[in-house]
Structure 1
Amino acid sequence: MKKYAAIEKQVRKCIQCGSCRVECPTGDDVGWISCSPRAKVLFIRDFLLGRKPTKVKMSEEFAQRLFQCTLCGRCGIECITEIDFPEVWFEIRELVQEEGVKLPIVETVSGIIKDTKNVANQPNDDRPNWLKRAKLASDPTKVEKADVVYYVGCMSSFYPQSQSMARAFAQILEASGTDFAIMGTSEHCCGFPMISTGKVHEAKELMHHNQEEIKKYVAKTVVATCPACTSMWKKEYPKLSGKPNDFEVMHATQFVLKLMKENKLKIVPPKQEIQVTFHDGCDLGRNGGVYDEPREILKMLPGVVFSEHPESKDISVCCGAGGDLLMTNPEMADRIGQKRAKSLSEVAPVAVTCCPSCKKHLKDTAKHAEVKLDTKDLLEMVADMLEKPEKPEKPEKAEA
């Protein structure tokens, strides 16, 4: 298969050493060799090469195994032949679609996104409703042109546990005097759930819409609070369209650190000390390369005592919500999340994240695991410490 020659080259590298197996959160959860990255690579290699006498065929069973994966990329950290695992998994999920193997839940969710333009199965006109509680001086959805466009994403637009992230970032942007706009109802899903399930054509349709809408703002920078959205705008859109972006793409933590270094935010110490650890989400950290910025912000915040988790940065463990696993196998995602929540709670009572999916999933699974762990988004912490404008004193009533 000429189209998959690059992937064939990658899987040919595998020497079946098994170092990836011990790093895989889903393989560790199931315990079956057939769920390990090593076994999946062997199957893919035999399928692409059409080896006889078995002549491996694509099946629904293999597709299910393939989707027992969070796309966290941890399988590659000890790979001595340096296989590009994330690229392999994305490409093979596309191949599953081309071979006509359909998983019912994947088809259901992709149908929802196609119909509603979001993963929440809500009317897209409700996308900016989170702004009602943001208490901003002006409505950023009414801005026609701006230097910065905040691409909110589906999670922070529709899910209550994540909406506070969007409100926090909008408040930070306003407090810093940033000229910014929000796409509102014209924003559609970034396409990550589509491309991560192999539905590249559908992802391109969403991309084309978003690209056309963003042009209207003549923006210099597009910022997202969701790491998956950031990755789509920064890496996948240029790759899928064959054209570079006309603007810089940043994750919100990178943008906020820039604002703080430029002294554009007035931070007030909290009333009491906060002990925290940091959870490196896979899309922002290992797959996005953003490690230092969140830690720099934490160290700049007064009253915050930061303790590093032993499994952090490039060896951080997935929360379980990535790679559409929460959609295709919620029970497995929950077990992986509980394990991570317990581990984080042993370091600090508060786990800070920079990802709406991580925040929601860790909060949910901490409850299921019955561990005392509060989950906060870094942007919320910054917004909570912003200097509040003084309320004007009410004039005293004149005596009669």
Structure 2
Amino acid sequence: MDFPALNEHNLQEYAFTCAQCSFCQVGHGACPTYKVKRRDSYSGKGKMMLTRALMQGRLRPSEGLEGLRDAVFGCTLCGGCEEVCQVDIPFVKIYQVLRSDFQKRGMWPEELEMAKETLLKTFNIQGQAQMDRIEGWSYWHPNEDDVLDKQGTPAKTAFFFGCASSFRGVSIQATIATTLVMDKIGESYTILGEEEYCCGAPMIMTGDFEAARALAEHNIEAYKKLGVERIFTNCPGCYKMWAHEYHEFLGIDHGFEILYGAQYFADLIDKGKLTGMNTPLDMTVTFHDGCDAGRNAGFYEEPRKVLEHLPGVTFEELPHNKANSFCCGSGGVLRAVDADFALEINKLKVEDIEATNANVVASACPSCVDFMHDQLPQAGSSKTVKDLAVLVAESMGLTWDGLDEIYG
């Protein structure tokens, strides 16, 4: 049996590269879906074995394809399997391409068809009115008019919000905090506002590369019209799209410099520009390394440098941290495909967090912050979840009305 998209992306050979060593099943911090399901097909090894068997005609397509489909879409794309793989198989890319093959076979999960319809209709994954991409959170901003005036203003630096940071209650805190910090240090920047479309990550993650292309091309054209040279985003999923996936999957070379939130703040610290962090926070903080920011992009030291410079912060690592960090369960569109499964994966993260003495869990991923903010109280935890950008703003004495209301 052939998988055309695998062949197109020169990935067929990897199905036969797997050494069946099982490191992706038992490695420290490895596959969370396997840890929960305890089914071989949900591990990296299992998915490669299924793909190989189908290619060799050793499985009946009707049975083998359904099993592989369930395993490929029952994945958060966290990259834990890649981290421990002894033969360097690019599992995440393979899963995305396999998802593309399943779409071509008409075997996409129904939930993804609905999500795609919503995204292409509203240009955001939340299905909300585009005017709310800025007006939905600028209402809480102490300098609302100044923020609104930045829409469509020519500038060399652009702040790309991303869907989660535009629409999800707790995640919009990071957007407000970041704009306050940028204004405080005198950073000149532009925003697209309601002209900002989704970066296309949900479509690339699910294998619909052409749908992602239309979204990407819109944003690229909009930024070039404004003379933008560098794009900054708090969302590591958006960062990954702009910095890597547009080129790897779509063949797009946009020419922009792409900066990630924690990277941006750490760079400001190095240059002595992030001054005024004089308000003691008086908290013990642990840090969740989101999968796209950590394993998929390598931003481990940058957020820790920022936390190190926050006054009144005692830092404690999670038992599973950096490359071995447990996925929170929010990634890979698993929450859309199987919300209950995502919640089971999240329990691994909650257990890790509860093993610390921290009273605040920080992260630099809006989707992770949103999911953990919802699930920690459900697990009976008293710990608070905050975005790294919010902690930076609070250390600079930058607060805003509705802070607690948005967090509630």
TM-score of the two chains, using structure 2 as the length reference: 0.90
**Partner Cα distance (2:327, 2:112) in 1:** 21
Q: Secondary structure at the match of 1:161?
A: coil
AA at the equivalent of 1:11:
A
- Residue 235 to residue 271, structure 1, CA distance change in 2 (3 Å): closer
Report whether the alignment pairs 1:15 with 2:19.
yes
What is the aligned-residue RMSD (CA, Å)? 1.9
Where does residue 375 of structure 2 map in the other structure?
A: 365
Report whether the alignment pairs 1:384 with 2:386.
no
How much does 1:142 deviate?
3.3
**Partner Cα distance (1:138, 1:80) in 2:** 52
The percent identity for this pair of structures is: 31
How much does 1:232 deviate?
0.5
**Partner Cα distance (1:33, 1:142) in 2:** 50
In structure 1, the gaps of 5 or more residues are 390-400
Q: Secondary structure at the match of 2:173?
A: helix
CA contact (8 A) 2:278 2:397 kept: no
CA contact (8 A) 1:153 1:190 kept: yes
Where does residue 71 of structure 1 map in the other structure?
A: 77
CA contact (8 A) 2:78 2:291 kept: yes
Q: Secondary structure at the match of 1:376?
A: strand
- Residue 105 to residue 236, structure 1, CA distance change in 2 (3 Å): same
Where does residue 405 of structure 2 map in the other structure?
A: none
AA at the equivalent of 1:384:
E
Where does residue 208 of structure 2 map in the other structure?
A: 199
Where does residue 238 of structure 2 map in the other structure?
A: 229
How much does 1:25 deviate?
0.5
How much does 1:261 deviate?
2.5
241-250 or 81-90, which deviates more: 241-250
How much does 1:54 deviate?
4.3
- CA offsets per residue over residues 58-95 of structure 1, 9 Å max, x none? 64443222111100000122221221111111111111
AA at the equivalent of 1:150:
F
Match of 1:355 among 360, 365, 381: 365
CA contact (8 A) 2:326 2:348 kept: no
Q: Secondary structure at the match of 1:66?
A: helix
Larger radius of gyration: 1
CA contact (8 A) 2:83 2:295 kept: no
Q: Secondary structure at the match of 1:69?
A: coil
Structure 2 matches for 1:54-93, cutoff 5 A? 54=60, 59-93=65-99
Structure 2 matches for 1:163-242, cutoff 5 A? 163-242=172-251
Where does residue 28 of structure 1 map in the other structure?
A: 35
**Partner Cα distance (2:39, 2:264) in 1:** 42
Report whether the alignment pairs 1:128 with 2:134.
yes
Which segments of structure 1 move beyond 4 Å, counting only runs of 4 or more? 52-58
Q: Secondary structure at the match of 1:263?
A: coil
- Residue 243 to residue 132, structure 1, CA distance change in 2 (3 Å): same
In structure 2, the gaps of 5 or more residues are 400-408
- CA offsets per residue over residues 112-163 of structure 1, 9 Å max, x none? 1011111111111211121221223713533521121000010010111100
**Partner Cα distance (2:326, 2:270) in 1:** 30
Q: Secondary structure at the match of 2:258?
A: strand
Where does residue 264 of structure 2 map in the other structure?
A: 255
CA contact (8 A) 2:369 2:387 kept: yes
Q: Secondary structure at the match of 1:275?
A: strand
- The number of equivalent residue pairs is 388
**Partner Cα distance (2:60, 2:389) in 1:** 53
Report whether the alignment pairs 1:161 with 2:170.
yes
